[in-house]
Amino acid sequence: MSKFIPFAFIIFLSLPHLVAIDIKSDSSTCLNDIEKKEILSEEQYDSAKSLGDFAVGCLEMVDSEELTPSAKKHLADSIRKNPEARLPIMILAGEWFKNREYQECIDIFLPMAKKHPEAIDLNLSTASAMICLKKNPEAIILLEQCFNTVAFPIENKDQSKSIVNLVYCLGDLYSKLKMFDKGEFFFDKVLKDESMSKNYKIRTYAAIFFSLRADQGEDGFFSGWTKRRFRKKMDENLEACETTWNGLLQSSSANKTKLPAVLELVPILEINKRYRLFENSERIILNTLVSIPENEYALRLLASVYGEWGQYGCSYRIWKKISLKNNSDPFCYYELGHSALMIRNFPEAAKSFEWLLLLSPDFNPVAIYQLGISYFEMGKYDRAILKLDKVPDLPEAKYITAICHGKENRYRQAVSAMEESEKIALSKKRNDFLSNEFYLTYAAFCDKADMFEKTVDILKKQIEKHPDDPETANFLGYVLAVKNKDLDYAKKLIETAIAKEGGNPAYLDSMAWVLFREKDYKSAKTYMEKSLSSGGGSPDAVIADHAGDIYNALGEKDKALKYWKIAAETYSPDLNPESVREKISSIESRN
């Protein structure tokens, strides 16, 4: 269940109006008269004495401007004589909870609570103190005894609020201690009462409770049946919540009464989010907006639901509308920027995040990171780096910084950024981030920076971790072939890659190039022609260049020229076209 706020039902008494009354003398005189006249029953007399103690305690509070020990004693005496006296319970409990004096609350209230289980507020206050001291089992026992005194159907409307709090507290405890069987029986009993079944809060508590068991516990035949049963009850209560909520909206509109607080939808929306019931959330919020169209909080909830649903276009449009009315709210700009980023409206995302950081420079490092991503996607790499450098503890930021440097052919800086990214990830134990893909990118930058030994070292470590990964095996084999190093090992690596993906033109090209280095030109030609046919169209520049070299070595000058010209006319960051043109000129000049 959602996090329980101890003694959530407490309100604080406003006392200034008591100052002008001589409570002590008036109440004493009154009680003396009552005692002499003997006109009251014992119950009425205790109630009157309770009021007298309460009045004296309040007077001492006003005089001392604090809750003195004497005032506490008078208030406690008031409760002893009338255990359902809500005001003294609220005052004492409020003071104890404010000062975290939970044990004192238990010491004073528990004997009275045990003697009077029917006193709901008294028992709730005591149980709340127990919960704060992590005495949940004791709190459950106390509240169960209290609940057993509740008579259904409930006829006393004044008592219903206290019963709602009791249901919430006891249901929350059953959830925390995973007492799902007891909790199910408990909610089934509560919901049999017509007034309780039509109470939005009760239905919310029930939905929360059943939702927790519907996706918890061991899997298996019987446990799976239990989950399905709880899921059905969860759905029933969610539907009842929606029906009751819509009824509250219609009643408020028809009778001009106070509208329900939209904040009360949040627990239901959280359940829908967990179970991906986004259409349910959309429907209940849209119905709310029909009744209260200008309710900004409802609009914010709807925008959030669309974002969680992945409908970022809808989310963006709503946040755009909200931000026009709240042009000084950093949170609006954050959500607007995020939704704009997700629909790839990078200029709008960048503008929103810039406004956000202008309003709140320390708002959230994630906002700065997303601003950097926006500039990266716009091709403004140096500006992206400038922003990403302000996010020092996020490995993703350093990784994108490396990509930015790579886009500008600053490979040494890219390698340095990858080193920083790895260091941060290791310190934060982000093993999920340090994937094989990360290290392949790292090795690629090292290769482009002519850091051969570092490239090989990274790839060999990845081969140890992922011996069957064809991409890693091919990469290392190709790097060795390019440098004409350890060709036997390179050939074995590439054979491993081809065994996994025999039709990959890049892997076939790598094998052709190893054989070319071994001067086995005929075998190299065989693999190269397989690569060219597997590519399905014009080969990339590097493969075409290799094809030209192999055909040239075999004396097939026309074919060599054909593929060199393809290489020279095809853009590739991995090939210098000038070196290819020189080879073309060399052949043509001889002819």
- Say if residue 153 is preceded by a cis peptide, omega within 30 of 0: yes
Q: Per the domain annotation, does 70 fall within a domain?
A: yes
4: burial class by Cβ within 10 Å (0-12, 13-18, 19+)?
A: middle
- One-letter-per-residue 3-state SS of 351-399: HHHHHHHHHCCCCCHHHHHHHHHHHHHCCCHHHHHHHHCCCCCCHHHHH
* 83, part of any domain: yes
Q: What is the pLDDT at residue 4?
A: 35
In a domain, 259, yes or no: no
Domain annotation covers residue 132: yes
pTM of the model: 0.78
**Is 59 a domain residue?**
yes
Nearest to 287 by CA among 236, 241, 251, 246: 246
Q: How far apart are CA 523 and CA 514, in angstroms?
A: 10
The pair of structure tokens assigned to 525 is: 């030609």
Would you write out the chain's pLDDT as a tens digit for each of its 591 residues?
A: 443 333 333 322 233 333 333 334 333 444 444 444 455 566 666 677 778 888 888 888 888 888 899 988 989 989 998 998 899 999 999 999 999 999 999 999 999 999 999 999 999 999 999 999 999 999 999 999 999 999 888 877 778 889 999 999 999 999 999 999 999 999 999 999 999 999 999 999 999 999 998 865 444 444 567 788 899 999 999 999 999 999 999 888 777 777 779 999 999 999 999 999 999 999 999 999 998 888 999 999 999 999 999 999 999 999 999 999 998 999 999 999 999 999 999 999 999 999 999 999 988 899 999 999 999 999 999 999 999 999 989 999 999 999 999 999 999 999 999 999 999 999 999 999 999 999 999 999 999 999 999 999 999 999 999 998 999 999 999 999 999 999 999 999 999 999 999 899 999 999 999 999 999 999 999 999 999 998 777 889 999 999 999 999 999 999 999 999 999 998 888 888 899 899 888 888 876
The token duo for 437 is: 């893909």
Total domains, the chain: 1
The whole-number pLDDT of residue 228 equals 86
Tokens of 330: 């950093």
Domain span holding position 145 = 1-157
Helix axes 278-291, 221-255, angle to 10 degrees: 10
Q: Is residue 547 part of a domain?
A: no
Which pLDDT does position 574 carry in this prediction? 86
pLDDT reported for residue 275:
93
Tokens found for residue 539 = 């080969």
Is 388 part of a structural domain of the chain?
no
CA–CA separation, 449 and 518 (whole Å):
26
Give, in order, the Cα–Cα distances in Å from 539 to each of 151, 481, 534. 83, 20, 9
Residue 133 sits in a domain whose CATH number is 1.25.40
Q: What is the pLDDT of residue 39?
A: 58
pLDDT of residue 31: 45
Q: Which two tokens stand for residue 365?
A: 């490092």
Distances (CA, A) of 425 to 397, 435, 517, 524: 11, 11, 39, 42
pLDDT at 43: 63
Q: What pLDDT, on the 0 to 100 scale, is given for residue 42?
A: 64
Structure-block tokens of residue 268:
């239901």
Closest by Cα among 133, 195, 205 to 167: 205
Q: What pLDDT shows up at residue 224?
A: 64
The CA distance from 461 to 469, in Å, is 12
Q: How crowded is the C-beta side of 206, counted as CA atoms within 13 Å?
A: 29
Does 248 map to a domain? no
DSSP state of 262: G
Quote the CA–CA distance of 436 and 237 in Å, as a whole number. 46
State the Cα–Cα distance between residues 352 and 375, nearest whole angstrom. Answer: 12
Residue 276 — left, alpha, or beta (φ > 0 → left; ψ -120 to 50 → alpha)?
Answer: left
